């Protein structure tokens, strides 16, 4: 059974690259309630940027769709970030999780999921072709210093 969050926020926005900074700023503002270090704040912002960029670039390659971001705070300083779309989905999730794999062309590095996991600590990706993708990341903030 999942525990209830202590606090949460849910945002939905068009899959326009201009909204990547909105998502980063919203995540930073939400995480700030835990008095994170600058490094922790930067980690969350970077991971959110990667997740939202993936949705903008890959989920809706031919049209503008909706990206949803849910931020949750759980006991123990656990932050959960969920970025979800209803775009084209990922054909082969294990392959997509491999470093340097990309379907985005020569200008994409294929390091998005690797960056998300390394900056957040945990990452799960669920996707169905034609139905969309859900990226769930967790990080513990404000550990004993």
The pLDDT tens digits for 8-50 are 999 999 999 999 999 999 999 999 999 999 999 999 999 999 9
- From 24, 108, 126, 138, active-site residue: 108
Residue 108: active-site member: yes
Residue 136 has pLDDT above 60, yes or no: yes
Counting the structural domains of the chain, the total is 1
Query: What pTM does this model have?
Result: 0.87
Which one, of 102, 22, 124, lies nearest residue 58 by Cα? 102
Residue 138: active-site member: no
Residue spans of beta strands (DSSP E) within the chain: 7-14, 66-74, 78-85, 122-128, 132-140
- From 19, 40, 54, 136, active-site residue: 54
CATH number of the domain within which 122 lies: 3.30.565.10
Within a domain: residue 145? no
């Amino acid at each position: 059974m999942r525990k209830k969050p202590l606090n949460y926020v849910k945002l939905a926005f068009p899959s326009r690259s201009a909204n990547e900074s909105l998502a980063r700023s919203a995540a930073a503002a939400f995480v700030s309630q835990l008095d994170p270090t600058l490094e922790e704040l930067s980690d969350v912002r970077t991971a959110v940027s990667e997740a939202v960029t993936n949705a903008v670039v890959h989920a809706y390659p031919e049209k503008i769709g909706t990206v949803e971001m849910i931020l949750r705070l759980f006991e123990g300083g656990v932050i959960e970030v969920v970025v979800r779309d209803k775009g084209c989905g990922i054909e082969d999730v294990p392959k997509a999780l491999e470093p340097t794999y990309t379907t985005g062309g020569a200008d994409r590095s294929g390091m998005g999921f690797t960056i998300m996991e390394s900056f957040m600590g945990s990452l799960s990706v669920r996707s169905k072709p034609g139905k969309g993708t859900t990226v769930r990341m967790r990080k513990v903030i404000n550990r004993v210093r």
